Amino acid sequence: KAGVTQTPRYLIKTRGQQVTLSCSPISGHRSVSWYQQTPGQGLQFLFEYFSETQRNKGNFPGRFSGRQFSNSRSEMNVSTLELGDSALYLCASSFYPIAKNIQYFGAGTRLSVL
């Protein structure tokens, strides 16, 4: 079974630009969560989607948004990039909503904002 696939793996952007990251969950998984990982803040929850609906949202500004498609694939978008958005963005899928199930993480997208 293929794992969680995130594209692209690396991205370099400049301040003010916007970026879209993609995540394909494990086949059969309908829940997709996004996390931001930085050395200073650790792993921070961004949002979770289940059956195309946002179920949970973390404490991030409105510049961070996401969506989920009918095939469970998910995208997250960051608009008006800031230097502080440089981070590893991890996507995780699970079979159920995360309260009950294991998170399977993708390899992540490393975003550098210059």
Instruction: Give residues in contact with another protein (CB under 8 A).
Output: 33, 35, 42-45, 48, 56, 58, 90, 92, 97-100, 102-108
Closer by beta carbon to another protein, 25 or else 106: 106
Taking the complex as a whole, the smallest distance from the CB of residue 102 to another protein amounts, in Å, to 5
Taking the complex as a whole, the smallest distance from the CB of residue 110 to another protein amounts, in Å, to 10
Query: What's the Cα-to-Cα distance from 10 to each of 33, 36, 58, 113, rounded to whole Å?
Result: 19, 14, 23, 11
Closer by beta carbon to another protein, 56 or else 79: 56
Closer by beta carbon to another protein, 11 or else 107: 107
Spatial distance between the Cα atoms of 92 and 99, rounded to a whole number of angstroms:
13
Q: What backbone torsions phi and psi does residue 75 show, to the nearest 5 degrees? A: -130, 150
Q: What backbone torsions phi and psi does residue 83 show, to the nearest 5 degrees? A: -55, -35
Q: Tokens 């050395």 belong to which residue?
A: 39
Taking the complex as a whole, the smallest distance from the CB of residue 70 to another protein amounts, in Å, to 23
Written as one letter, the residue type at 36 is Q
Spatial distance between the Cα atoms of 24 and 5, rounded to a whole number of angstroms:
5
Closer by beta carbon to another protein, 1 or else 100: 100
Taking the complex as a whole, the smallest distance from the CB of residue 58 to another protein amounts, in Å, to 7
